[in-house]
Every structure is written in C-alpha cells, then in structure tokens.
C-alpha cells in the first residue's frame, strides 16, 4: 500500500488566495485593514524567525503586521502595559505573544491578560474552554485547525472512527483531540507515559502525532489503511523531519500528511483565517 499524501501546501495556497480576495473587499468597504500585532520580548532567534514568517504571511493576504519588540530586560510591568495598549486599540484585531519569553517574564500572566476577542492563537483559557464545550465564539489554535481542514478537504468521514492523538500540548494535542471528538470520533489522548504506545497507536483509524520527536512513529505503529496526521516539524542535519518516518508509514497508511508540505503550510493559512475572523467580528 502507498498512502495518499494530503497536499497542505496546495490547499494553503488556495485558502490564502480566498482570504486575500475577501480581505481586499472588506478593506475597501470599511477603510480599515485587518491588523495582527505580534509581541516579542528579547532576542531569541527562533522567535525572531517566527515573527518574520508571520510578517510574510500577513503581507501575502493583505493583513497589516504590527510588531512590538521589547528588550530582553523589559519588566513584567512594561510588557503588560504594552499588551494592555494592544488590547484596547481599535486598530488591532489580533494579538500574538511569541515564545519563549525571558525567564523573569510570567508568560501565564500575559496569556491571562490577553483580550480573548483578539487571541487569534487560541491560547486564552476562555477560548480553550469555549472550544471544549463547543460554545462559539472561540478561536481554534491554527495548527490543529489546519490538520482538521486537510482531513475535511480529503473527504474523511469522522463519525464513529477511532482516533488516537499522541501529544497533549495545549496548542496542538488537546485541541486536536477536541476537534475530532466534536466530529463524533472516539478519541484517545496518548503521550510519553502511555503503556505500550505503539499498540495504542495501532488501534487508530485516524492517528495524529504531535510530540516533536523526529521519526518516532514508524510503519509498525500504524494500522493498515489508517489516516496519519503528522504535526512534527524538527530541523535536523538531513532537513525538516516530521514525527513519523515517512517511508515506512506511507507503506502502511491509507492517507498521510507529508513533512514538509502537510500541516505546516496549513498552520500559516489558518492563522490568517483567524485574524480575518477577529476583524469581521469588529466590523460586523
């Protein structure tokens, strides 16, 4: 068997083209550009690189990019003051606080202080709770939202399927499990302390992997014909690797997301979709 590879790059390109057209029409009508503010504290190179990537994505669809870069030695009070300004600004529709932050900054306090209506990353507890209870409005974190959209576009029938999510992070694993549950899957959340993890993975009709360990999941973890969603993005000497060993998994699975070209591009597209949604809520 050779798995059907789900083309996240192509779908993301189509979604962005649709977003760009919609944003241009709304901006012309309301004379206000959707604006994403990105806060970064310190000079972490990974955070700086992510900010540049977000800027490129914003430019690609017509979202205004508003950077807020604070020095490494900024105090908690200074950072909170900037965040409060962004929360209150009618010109800012979405806000992201990039990680990591310096050790002396309380990230949890920043997240709690974030205006939930501008939390396009879906990290505020109010958005997470609304997602859990399916009580709109809420924002879904972009990475799992992109994974679900890929499966929907592929025509996956979720109802009654056995789903296993390996990974329990607040930004990928848990929300992906909820999105699957909302589509009537029977969901197991597995993790590093799960007993006989490969055997649990083999029970899955839909296997989602979000652990950040390159090529951890191999073909013998996968039920024949299963759908595999690989959220892994680890840079190695051999290039970008997912959490699945692609060749052996593809030989067993029915469908899978490749790395690169699978869930990564979809994350970028769904983040822009969240910014548009936040903007539309303001303009009515």
Torsion sign (Cα): 48, 49, 54, 55: positive
Instruction: Domain ranges for the chain, please list them.
Output: 31-119, 141-264
At residue 224, φ and ψ (nearest 5 deg) are: -55, 130
Q: Given its phi and psi angles, is residue 212 left (phi above 0), alpha (psi -120 to 50 degrees) or beta?
A: left
Assigned CATH class of 141-264? alpha beta
Supply the pLDDT for residue 1: 58
169-228 pLDDT per residue, tens: 999 999 999 999 999 999 999 999 999 999 999 999 999 999 999 999 999 999 999 999
H helix or E strand, kind and range, residue 229: strand 227-230
- Please name the residues in contact with 255: beta carbons below 8 A apart, sequence gap of 6 or more: 3, 4, 5, 6, 154, 156, 227, 228
* pTM for the model: 0.95
The Cα–Cα gap between 165 and 203 comes to 11
Is residue 34 within 8 Å of 65, Cβ to Cβ? Answer: no
One fold for 31-119 and 141-264 = yes
133-164 pLDDT per residue, tens: 999 999 999 999 999 999 999 999 999 999 99
16: which 2 tokens?
Answer: 């962005």
Supply the pLDDT for residue 18: 98
35-82 pLDDT per residue, tens: 999 999 999 999 999 999 999 999 999 999 999 999 999 999 999 999
- The CATH code of domain 31-119 reads 3.40.50.10860
27: which 2 tokens?
Answer: 């901006």
Supply the pLDDT for residue 284: 82
């Amino acid at each position: 068997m050779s798995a059907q590879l789900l083309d996240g790059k192509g779908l993301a390109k189509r979604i962005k083209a649709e977003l760009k057209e919609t944003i241009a029409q709304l901006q012309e009508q309301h004379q206000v550009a959707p604006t994403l503010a990105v806060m970064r504290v310190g000079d972490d190179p990974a955070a700086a690189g992510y900010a540049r990537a977000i800027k490129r994505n914003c430019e690609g669809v017509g979202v205004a990019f508003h950077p807020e870069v604070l020095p490494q030695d900024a105090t908690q009070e200074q950072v909170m003051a900037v965040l409060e300004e962004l929360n209150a600004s009618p010109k800012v529709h979405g806000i992201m606080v990039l990680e990591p932050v310096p050790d002396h900054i309380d990230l949890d306090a920043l997240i709690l202080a974030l205006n939930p209506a501008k939390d396009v990353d879906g990290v505020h507890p109010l958005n997470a709770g609304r997602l859990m209870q399916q009580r709109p409005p809420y924002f879904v974190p972009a990475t799992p939202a992109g994974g679900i959209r890929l499966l929907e576009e592929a025509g996956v029938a979720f109802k009654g399927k056995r789903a296993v999510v390996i990974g329990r992070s607040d930004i990928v694993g848990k929300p992906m499990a909820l999105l699957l549950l909302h589509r009537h899957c029977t969901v197991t959340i597995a993790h590093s302390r799960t007993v006989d993890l490969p055997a649990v993975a083999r029970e899955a009709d839909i296997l989602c992997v979000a652990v950040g360990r390159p090529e951890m999941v191999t073909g013998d973890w996968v039920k024949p014909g299963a759908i595999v969603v690989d959220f892994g993005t680890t840079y190695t000497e051999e290039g970008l690797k997912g959490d699945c060993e692609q060749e052996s998994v593809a030989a067993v699975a029915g469908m899978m997301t490749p790395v690169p070209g699978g869930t990564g591009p979809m994350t970028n597209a769904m983040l822009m979709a969240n910014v548009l949604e936040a903007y539309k809520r303001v303009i009515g």
